[in-house]
Structure 1
Amino acid sequence: MTASSLPPRRLSAENRREQILEMAAALFIDRGFEAVGMNDIARELQTSRPTVYTYFTSTEDMLRALLRERLPAMWEQLRPILPTSGEFQADTFSALFLALLHERELLLLLHSGGGPIFREQRGHFLQQLGEWIEPYRRAESRQPQVLHLITLLLEAAAVEAVRAVRDDAELAAQARTIGQFIAAGVAVTGKEG
């Protein structure tokens, strides 16, 4: 028997669950969350709906699992980038932006729908990013909207970049440009504050 003529190997429960989540994430990003149903996921996996329902009760359940598993991992990737003291410099913003770009699937997933789950998770994402940036904002800046604008800019720029960028060199170039832009804006705002 050749490898292609062997009967398909049964996946373990954990591997099947991961396979379902991977397919769900790909479909949510490609088609938008609201356009994907349990039938779509089963069809793409060439399995039955009951098999998919064995692991997840709904696409909302899948989305919650994806975000619950992937968001903490992203924060762990970002944590070492933030300086332990002082303020952000252009290279810090560049590194932060580049790290966000490397989390392209998660960023696109967060933007694949408009329902309450997405709004809540995007809001939490921006709040967490803002809280991490807050200690490094120029102390003399008295404009509270600056921090919010920085986090929105980082997130929006990252989402748009991951949709358009073709390679890592282009990602790095965009990260440097955005980092310099943000650092210059923070410095100017701090002087005006």
Structure 2
Amino acid sequence: MPSALPPPAARRLSAENRREQLLEAASALFIEKGFEAVGMNDIARELQTSRPTVYTYFTSTDDMLRALLTERLPAMWERLRPMLPASGEFSADTFSNLFLALLHERELLLLLHSGGGPLFREQRAHFLQQLGEWTEPYHRAGVRHPHVLHLITLLLEAAAVEAVRGDHAEAARQAQVLGQFVAAGVAALTS
């Protein structure tokens, strides 16, 4: 009977970017397995490093998730800001461009939807709130149905999340159709 192989020796992570390596591994595992299924041992095993190394930087997976979202969500909004309409003028391209920009945020959207705990719910609600702020110019432009604008925001987020889970090329083709649909709805509400 063959003997069991010894476990691989712990790998020493690069000191200058050790924290980022831990966060990258955690993010990938959260997305792949779901947040609740990942423990600190899994992250150490993924990087072939020791648990004490992981605990040196983070006290728990909650701590890692908090760090990921705290660091990455503001950066995402900075990247998306140029896509947000500055006035009440809305076109199919406005929605399509924002949708396509969200597709480039694939990893972060999947991370936001990789768990169901309070931190996830809070961060998703905050994400939708910020995404919904782009509808404010339409209130000034004459759209007096905030519930419809909220539905447009939900459609945008739901379409982006579904697209990042599926075929990116097909999602890009559908972006224009979704943009035309939303633009027609906004035009109907302002007329």
Q: CA deviation at 1:83?
A: 3.0
Whether the aligned pair in 1 keeps the contact of 2:13 and 2:49 (CA below 8 Å) is: no
Identical positions, percent: 79
1: CA distance between counterparts of 2:137 and 2:88?
Answer: 8
Query: What is aligned with 1:186?
Result: 186
Q: CA deviation at 1:166?
A: 4.3
The one-letter amino acid of 1:40's match is D
Query: What is aligned with 1:38?
Result: 40
Query: Within 5 A, what are the aligned runs for 1:116-135?
Result: 116-135=118-137
1: CA distance between counterparts of 2:132 and 2:41?
Answer: 38
2: CA distance between counterparts of 1:56 and 1:9?
Answer: 17
Query: What is aligned with 2:177?
Result: 177
Q: CA deviation at 1:141?
A: 2.2
Q: Which 5+ residue runs of structure 1 have no aligned equivalent?
A: 1-7
Query: What is aligned with 1:3?
Result: none
Query: What is aligned with 2:14?
Result: 11
Whether the aligned pair in 2 keeps the contact of 1:126 and 1:151 (CA below 8 Å) is: yes
> What are the superposed Cα offsets for residues 119-177 of structure 1, whole Å, 9 maximum, x if unpaired?
1000000001111222135733222201211111100100000111144xx34312212
Whether the aligned pair in 1 keeps the contact of 2:31 and 2:114 (CA below 8 Å) is: yes
Provide TM-score, normalisation by structure 1.
0.87
Query: What is aligned with 1:94?
Result: 96
Query: What is aligned with 1:149?
Result: 151
2:62 pairs, out of 60, 63, 84, with 60
Query: What is aligned with 2:27?
Result: 25
Aligned residue for 1:92, secondary structure, equals helix
Query: What is aligned with 1:84?
Result: 86
1: CA distance between counterparts of 2:140 and 2:190?
Answer: 6
**Residue 10 to residue 81, structure 1, CA distance change in 2 (3 Å):** closer
**Residue 10 to residue 108, structure 1, CA distance change in 2 (3 Å):** closer
Query: What is aligned with 2:52?
Result: 50
Moved over 6 A (4+): none
Q: CA deviation at 1:10?
A: 4.9
**Residue 136 to residue 111, structure 1, CA distance change in 2 (3 Å):** same
Provide TM-score, normalisation by structure 2.
0.88
Aligned residue for 1:88, secondary structure, equals coil
